[in-house]
Amino acid sequence: MPAKLGIIGCGKMGYALLKGISDGSSDYKAIYACDTSVERTNVFVQEFRAVQADKPQLIADADIVILAVKPTQVKEVLAGTEGLWNTDKLLISIAAGIKTSTIETELGKPIPVVRVMPNTPCLVGEGVSAVSAGTYAKQSHLKLVQAMMSRVGLTVIIDEVYMDAVTAVSGSGPAYAFLLVESMIDAALNLGLSSETARCLVLQTLKGSITMLEQTGEHPAVLKAQVTSPGGTTIAGLRELEAGGIREAFFAAIERACQRSIELGTDNHK
């Protein structure tokens, strides 16, 4: 029997997920949407034929509840909802840094909770999502969530202990990629190339490079060496990048993002 799906939080990530998983709308008997913004909720009503619902109605009626709010809002959203949950329901949280144990404590019941760390390319069906189970989630719950998330990209099941690292790498990763693309385009403009030409060259170069990595299975260092001729242009450019600390900057950025994910979980556990 098709399940009833509810989503609390109608922001960009919630939209991206629902856009992907609602393509098979016949899989769901009904879709409910709840957000403090009437405007955002209306988007879900219009695009996904969702039913606008307040929080108590959504939790009471839905079989699967996606919690797509900011980490700082999780405790507030779950407060006072204990009586609305039962063990037949499944809660899927995409709140960065918030542990399943924190959510289970707020619910006060042995409710199956699955934590997911998606990223924004889910919006175009090219995302990557890490999935981990809470104390009361069964293998069947993990498989269900994996199937849902696979509609918007690659899905991996991991131990929750690694979720903060995943948040720093793939959750925040698109921003690093966009910054790299922006920097390369700006550098091309500085050399006199037009905006259109610069964008085309940079995007296709990165796309082709990723495809090579995927298809060859080679370590990136091996492919990098194949492009780098002694005394050539590439080694000159690579020397400047290394001198500018690009490798160390990525180490520092990802480590800091991981630490911030840990902090979000700690702050919201108090």
Token pair of 15, please? 């939209």
What is the C-alpha separation between 252 and 101, in angstroms, rounded? 28
Per DSSP, 169 falls in state I
pLDDT at 28: 86
Domain with CATH 3.40.50.720 in the chain: 3-159
pLDDT at 109: 92
What is the C-alpha separation between 85 and 245, in angstroms, rounded? 51
pLDDT at 23: 64
**CATH number, domain 3-159:** 3.40.50.720
The count of C-alpha atoms lying within 13 angstroms of the C-alpha of 59, restricted to the half-sphere facing its C-beta, is: 20
pLDDT at 265: 86
pLDDT at 268: 59
Residue indicated by tokens 């403090």: 36
Summarised one tens digit per residue, pLDDT across range 153-194 is 999 999 999 999 999 999 999 999 999 999 999 999 999 999
Residue indicated by tokens 């995302």: 127
Residue among 115, 143, 117, 150 nearest 20 (CA): 150
In what order do the strands lie in the sheet containing 127-133?
Answer: 51-52, 28-34, 3-8, 64-67, 90-93, 113-117, 127-133, 153-157
The backbone torsions φ and ψ at residue 66, rounded to the nearest 5 degrees and listed phi first, read -95, 120
What is the C-alpha separation between 90 and 100, in angstroms, rounded? 12
Domain with CATH 1.10.3730.10 in the chain: 173-263
User: pLDDT truncated to tens, each residue of the chain (270 aa)?
Assistant: 578 999 999 998 888 888 877 765 557 899 999 999 999 999 999 999 899 999 999 999 999 999 999 999 999 999 999 999 999 999 999 999 999 999 999 999 999 999 999 998 988 889 999 999 999 999 999 999 999 999 999 999 999 999 999 999 999 999 999 999 999 999 999 999 999 999 999 999 999 999 999 999 999 999 999 999 999 999 999 999 999 999 999 999 999 999 999 998 886 554
Q: What's the Cα-to-Cα distance from 167 to each of 17, 72, 83, 187, 270, rounded to whole Å?
A: 17, 16, 31, 29, 21
**CATH number, domain 173-263:** 1.10.3730.10
CA dihedral 135, 138, 142, 144 (to 10 degrees): -140
Token pair of 83, please? 């009586």
Looking at the chain, the number of H-run helices and the number of E-run strands are: 12, 8
pLDDT at 166: 96
Q: Cβ atoms within 10 A of the Cβ of 262, count?
A: 16
